[in-house]
Amino acid sequence: MKKKVIAYNRVEKPVLEALQKKYDVTFFKNIDTQNDLDFLKKLSEVEGIIGLELPVDKKLLDHAPHLKIISNVSVGYNNLDMEELTKRNIMATNTPDVLTDTVADTVFGILIATARRIPELDQLVKSGGWITESIEPEYFGMDVHHKKLGIIGMGRIGQAIAKRAHFGFDMEILYHSRSQKPDVEDKFDATYCTLDELLAKSDFVCLITPLTSETVGLIGKREFQLMKKTAIFVNGSRGKTIVEQDLIDALKGGQIAAAGLDVFEKEPIERHNALLHMKNVVTTPHIGSSTHETELKMSELAAYNLEAGLNGQKPPNLVTQPL
């Protein structure tokens, strides 16, 4: 008999089809995972779950007595209650590396779009607002090249951002992480700073840490106050690593100049969110890794992790500690 698996929200079609040949796979999308009866019934039967951002807590795991592995199609795994998974000896995996360059491209793209006001000026042109030969200085942007970029979270993606900034844009790199990284300092001529130093000195502040109990609300009122009034803040991590209302206040009060955001406290973002009505805010719908090529690679890696776990092997991208 085929092993039973749930696929949740996003697994690329060719990968899903390949899994369906080997396993009894049921696909769920956009459901209430606490109350959907079909989902809860399936959960009681499956040995594996593969998918994007399934919120996994004690309550959900109580419905899953046969579960061996949860394979996230993402590098972040803040959707998982790690303590509870470890307690139950259930494996969890993620998809690092394959998305690093794509996310760095996205973050850097948002940074440039915010500094040079590309979405705003796109709207100006399309709405017929470009009526004289050259636009007025009120639409000028801010240079990116040769400026100071502060990266909070100098991990895989942080380093790929630093690479673009250093070699492509002659930027000076400041960084803050839990640990200092001499190899990164050599490669990108980067300088390690305390968080407060980085905030005070940077022209661009880019946040790309995981969401953990340590990083939740890492950037709030105090931190925005430490930034330059001309600073541009870019968040590519998770929405909850900042206090969103404090960002709104900082933008309204002219405490910082602008923000580029791929992630939000609540996703999808609510229509009344003040950020949606600010010209100096560039938004994207959590699309850090969302290219056709990279999403496929992530699904393939997640399927590989899933199969290893189902076969009783150690998956290459295990994020839980084996007991």
Which stretches of the chain bind ligand NAP, using CB under 6 A?
75-76, 96, 99, 103, 152-158, 176-179, 208-212, 214-215, 236-238, 262-263, 286, 288-289
- Least distance to ligand NAP from the beta carbon of 70, Å? 16
Smaller CB separation from ligand NAP, 26 or 79: 79
Strand partners, 192: 175
Query: Over 265-285, what HEC string results?
Result: CCCCCCCCCHHHHCCCEEECC
Q: What are the E-state strand segments in 208-296? A: 232-235, 258-261, 281-283
The smaller minimum CB distance to ligand NAP, of residues 75 and 251, is found at: 75
Q: Shortest distance, CB of residue 144 to ligand NAP, whole angstroms?
A: 19
282: left (phi over 0), alpha (psi -120 to 50) or beta: beta
Pairing of strands 4-8, 48-51: parallel
Choose the catalytic residue: 17, 83, 267, 270: 267
Report whether 300 contacts 70 (CB < 8 A).
Answer: no
Nearer to ligand NAP, 47 or 295 (CB): 295
Query: Cα separations (Å) of 248 from 207, 299, 310?
Result: 16, 35, 45
Query: Is-catalytic flag, 238?
Result: yes
**Distance between CA atoms of residues 316 and 184, nearest Å:** 25
Q: Is 286 an active-site residue?
A: yes
Determine which one of 10, 117, 176, 286 is catalytic: 286
For residue 14, is the peptide bond before it cis, meaning its omega torsion is within 30 degrees of 0?
no
CB of 244 to ligand NAP, least distance (A): 15
Rounded CA separation 170/7 (Å): 44
Known catalytic residue: 66?
A: no
Q: Choosing from 117, 164, 176, 238, which is the catalytic residue?
A: 238
Cβ-based nearer residue to ligand NAP, 64 or 199: 199
CB neighbour list of residue 313: distance below 8 Å, 6 or more residues apart:
none
Which residue's C-beta sits nearest to ligand NAP?
155
Smallest gap from residue 155 Cβ to ligand NAP (A) = 2
- Least CB distance to ligand NAP at residue 179 (A): 4
CB 50 within 8 A of CB 23: no
Closest to ligand NAP by CB, 152 or 281: 152
- Residues labelled catalytic: 238, 267, 286
